[in-house]
Amino acid sequence: MKKLLLVTLTILAVTLGLAFVNPDYVSPVEKVVEAAAPAVVKIDVETTAKISPFDPFTEDFFKRFFGEIPFAEKKAEALGSGFIFDADGYILTNEHVVHNADQIKVTLLDGSKYDAKYVGGDEELDIAVIKIDPDGQQLPVLEIGDSDSLKIGEWAIAIGNPLGFQHTVTLGVISATGRQIPKPDGNGYYSNLIQTDAAINPGNSGGPLLNIHGQVVGINTAIVSPQYGTTLGFAIPINVAMRFVDTIIKGIPIQKAYLGVYVSTVTESTAKSLGLKVDTGALVTDVIKDSPAEKAGIKTQDVIVNFNGLDIHSSDELVAAVHNYPAGSKVSITLNRFGKKITLNVELGYQDNAEGKKTQEKYQDDKLGLVVDNILPGDREELSIPQEISGVIVRDVLENSYASRMGMSKGDVIVMISVNGKQEEVSSLEDYKKVVSEFKKGDYVALIVLREGVRYIASFRYY
């Protein structure tokens, strides 16, 4: 009995001793969450999608005999995160969270709910600003940090609403910086992302990635499929977002930068055939006249290997990196010229024209289901559209339209339209509007389209 009592007292003493290890310790993460969580918001979004009640074959039959299809509308709900960065009620989030929203609702940590309005954003950068009316209330605000000063291995804290679990906190480190990954829809690259092993899941999108001082260093935006990896999350550097925020709030169209080069990705065959001294990078195949690239001294067959501190491995990475800056930014570009490394200082120009003013507004054509625009210098750079090619460029394809059924996509260039055998050149937006306005029911129509340097024909009968 005495032995049993002695053992019990010993275990009790050890247990009590463990309970008092670091008795006054407070995790710095706890303090970050206490300070930051009130400014992190849950975003509920409602959108409307048009749904055809017919399969493609039945659609054509219906349109032939009965005219327009009675599309049904379907409501869809989505969830994301965001954070208040300005006491007037401005909130940063991802564009893909609030894109085409009919209704946006915001919920704070204390349960307060607000209707929010969409202020503006950019699909390519995947950033957006929404706004709530504080109505005299003092809103909590997050402090903006400096993503350019991040070091590998420093703490990273994510707060958001993964899978609807409001204000979930996850902890990790900065795993890498300067990551370039393809977007899930295959439409371009995310550039210069922060990689973290802090768990990021669906619903975290738009929420803040914080440093140990509670400052925002990134906007959580992308995850890797669980079948490939479970501790890989990515965030847009806050410095990239803040370059464009003032422009968005002022309602001014975003003017992303323009370099003025046609590029292709260096491959083993191009490197060996041209005698290049590097096996990776963006090969300059042409330089646009009077562009920032020409003025800085960039030449054909130069290989761009670094853009303002970001290593470049492909042409897509270069395009995405350039578009991370507003027009007028001054950057350094490192290139390899047949073994000679050269660094140039370049003042980036405007995608539209030298003055940065749009000469035309994009046009929504409800007949074909396209949003089209004139070809701008930035389009030629991004898509390598030769100077001698004229036409209109597709900015968007509407759902359940002629264009969507023909497989047209963003970036296609319409160079000619043929109606009942009569071919019309399309050199401008005005040409396009004129031809399409004259469509009549029963017309046989063919669009001659340039995609990635290859022409194809999309034909249909218009009803």
For 242-257, how does the pLDDT look when each residue is reduced to its tens digit (9 = 90+)? 999 999 999 988 888 9
The answer to whether residues 318 and 266 touch, using CB atoms and an 8 Å cutoff, is: no
Residue 59 has pLDDT above 80, yes or no: no
Question: For residue 242, what are the contacts with CB-CB under 8 A and spacing of at least 6?
Answer: 144
The answer to whether residues 104 and 130 touch, using CB atoms and an 8 Å cutoff, is: yes
Which strand (E) or helix (H) includes residue 198?
Answer: none
Residue 383 has pLDDT above 90, yes or no: no
What are the residue boundaries of the structural domains of the chain, listed by start? 34-132, 143-249, 257-350, 363-461
CATH number of 143-249: 2.40.10.10
Decide which of 114 and 361 is more confident: 114
The answer to whether residues 387 and 456 touch, using CB atoms and an 8 Å cutoff, is: no
Residue 141 has pLDDT above 70, yes or no: yes
CATH class for the region spanning 34-132:
mainly beta
Residue 44 has pLDDT above 60, yes or no: yes
Lowest mean pLDDT among 57-61, 194-198, 413-417, 441-445: 57-61
| Partners of 439 in beta bridges | none
Share of the chain above pLDDT 90, in %: 59
* Euclidean distance between CA atoms 100 and 114, whole angstroms: 19
- 143-249 and 257-350 share one fold: no
The predicted pLDDT at position 9 comes to: 54
Strands (E) across 348-428 are located at: 349-350, 363-365, 370-374, 392-397, 413-419, 422-425
For 232-287, how does the pLDDT look when each residue is reduced to its tens digit (9 = 90+)? 899 999 999 999 999 999 998 888 899 999 999 999 999 999 999 999 999 999 99
SS3 11: helix
257-350: CATH topology = Pdz3 Domain (2.30.42)
Hey, which CATH number is domain 363-461, 2.30.33.40, 2.160.10.10, 2.40.37.10, 2.30.42.10? Answer: 2.30.42.10
The predicted pLDDT at position 12 comes to: 53
Residue 330 has pLDDT above 80, yes or no: yes
Q: Which of 241, 236, 256 is nearest to 195 (CA)?
A: 236
Residue 37 has pLDDT above 60, yes or no: yes
* Euclidean distance between CA atoms 29 and 202, whole angstroms: 23
Which strand (E) or helix (H) includes residue 116?
Answer: strand 113-122
The predicted pLDDT at position 1 comes to: 55
The answer to whether residues 378 and 358 touch, using CB atoms and an 8 Å cutoff, is: no
Residues marked active site are found at: 96, 126, 205
Structure tokens at 196: 């973290």
The answer to whether residues 99 and 127 touch, using CB atoms and an 8 Å cutoff, is: no
The predicted pLDDT at position 343 comes to: 97
Share of the chain above pLDDT 70, in %: 86
The answer to whether residues 184 and 278 touch, using CB atoms and an 8 Å cutoff, is: no
Decide which of 88 and 65 is more confident: 88
Q: Which of 382, 390, 385 is nearest to 414 (CA)?
A: 390
Structure tokens at 45: 């979004």
Report residue 76's pLDDT band, with 50, 70 and 90 as the boundaries: confident
Q: What rounded mean pLDDT belongs to the chain?
A: 87
